[in-house]
Structure 1
Amino acid sequence: MSKSLSSRQALALAALLVVSASAKAAEYEVEPILSPTGGVVAPSSIATNGLVAGEVYGTTITCFKYLDGVLTTLPLPPNTLRCERAVTDLLGNISMTVVPTENPNTTRVVELTTNGQFLSLNGLTVDGNRVVASKGGRMAGSSLSEAGEPQAYLFNRKGGGVNVGALTGKTRSWLTGLNAKGWAVGYAETAGSRRTQAFRYKDGKVVWLGALSEGGSTYVAGINAGWTAVGSSESVADDFMSYRAVTWKGKSGPVNLGTLFDLFTHGEAINSTGVVVGRYGLGAAGMRVSNGVMSNLVNLIPADKKVLWDGLLGRAVAISDNGMIVGANSRYNGVNGAAYLMRPSP
């Protein structure tokens, strides 16, 4: 009798553990970000309060902000034709690249503050698809040289800035990440070359970031407040599928964050606690690395929500310091071009 009772208790305990494991796996609630006009939603960034910024691609490109379940098209400053990119800093100030009416072949940078004011319209011609922002309105990206080559550039709020690209010794360069203390990261290449080299920049000094393999390409996408950079590196030179998500800290070499199903991985963003998000595989599925463990994002949401997303959350592009994740390239309830916002479960 006692043995039978013990067996039933064991079964009950096993069932409880299964339920507990399932509940534990649902680390996030997830909500869709959809365009009311049916365009493809491409978020770029997220603020601490959950405000998301990015673009909607339809018959034209429009920039948007998303907050509390509502997607709103961003206004344009005077004398501009369209917006090409929008990013938010941690405080909710939005930087935009816009095309001026008087010269539709150029792109300028402008900041839209939380109180609706436009600031710092810059006279430089910039790469319209490359601009990032950090806490306090700092902006980075690339300006175009007279030869039309992108050059890594730090923008000042009052116009002008620092041409980082002139310091790299490369034909082309871009800044892709920036923290509140002014540390920037980017990558460079020589025209005609397939090799890219990641670097860190601060106060006029460029430090090249090492690769996982001799001669391998490196790419960097972001940097957090603790000066840890994130991106990817070839683990086998000239082998695209060998890219692995990596982090760089101080003078240390790259730390390999691993792979899922032996597919390439790439780190897109890192928050102040060191959690990394990005993508893996040719299908650009979203992934997260937390405490050294890499996970497929779709496995972190409630089981009953997975079917609504066709079992796939696309690449993650940003993570806030309080753990919210935003991403794109998804299909939601039969609608293509959906983005998503993941909030940590209570």
Structure 2
Amino acid sequence: MQLQLASIFFTFSLGTRTHYFGRTLLHGGAKYRATGRGFVVEHIKFAEIYRLFARSHFVKGLEIVILLLIYMVYGYEDSTVGYILMSFSSWFLAISWLYAPFIFNPSGFEWQKTVEDFGDWTNWLLYKGGVGVKGEESWETWWDEEQSHMQTLRGKFLETLLSLRFLFFQYGVVYRLHAADSSTSLRVYGVSWVVLIAIVLLFKIFTFSQKTSVNFQMFLRLFQGTVFVLLLAALALLIVLTALSFGDIFASLLALIPTGWAILSIAITWKPVVKRLWLWKSIRTIARFYDAAMGMVVFFPIAILSWFPFVSTFQNRLLFNQAFSRGLEISQILSGKPADA
């Protein structure tokens, strides 16, 4: 059974049960949730897999990965072998939650399917929702549907409390930056929030798009280009004139990305309040960016592996080992062709 990756499948299905059990405890609304025990021979598109498991597995898997990276950089000071032994089970959990659906997805590493899946996913991600548009067709509709379970005041408070855990990433990392110079002052933590606000403002500048005159569009592009050049110049000056390093920039991303997700999660939880503040459109734009980034992180290794034909062959052999041993034509089954075609 281990040769057929039964432990990966079990770990993933257990994550499904855990997610919906926790959601039921927080918000109520218990109902049957399929855990995917059926035998599948049809390729499932990346967009559909993302819709099914983004919140239940991918978010949690990436959270574990970020924690493990921070632990590797700042927490563990022994040998590499010791780190591997200490964190192997956690890496196994994270990888299982991130990639089990693709490992058990027929033709999941076939290059042509991968290209088609990427196009389908980007179309779904960028397609705007509206009246009568289903979640399978538009990211915006799916995103709204993913929030439908947040109904009770108790559930919203508990969801907010759980989202605050992401702030500990930022608090723990900023004091380990070279630019902090071993300072433990709250000013360092305050500066990190200023940087986060600046990043949000820059994001708004670069994503701002107004359908107006051609002259305004030219001015907007010129302004965005100028801001981009000034940003690069400012980063270069900070690296040269201060203790800021490239490692600090990477570490800051590890710290601020979870903080942004915490703010996003809290804003989604208190949607009516955010709408009254006229911030909902900005929250939705940032949420789309997070989903796009998370999807790319998950998709990139799949695309790399799809370059090598032997990976797809090995996957088919792994999934349909018994069928191969009985002489069945798996290629015809996967393509949907009759045996005498």
Q: TM-score, normalised by structure 1?
A: 0.18
Q: Where is the strand percentage greater, Structure 1 or Structure 2?
A: 1
Q: Which of these two proteins has the greater Rg computed from alpha carbons?
A: 2
Q: Where is the helix percentage greater, Structure 1 or Structure 2?
A: 2
Q: TM-score, normalised by structure 2?
A: 0.18
- Higher RCO, Cα 8 Å, sep 6+: 2
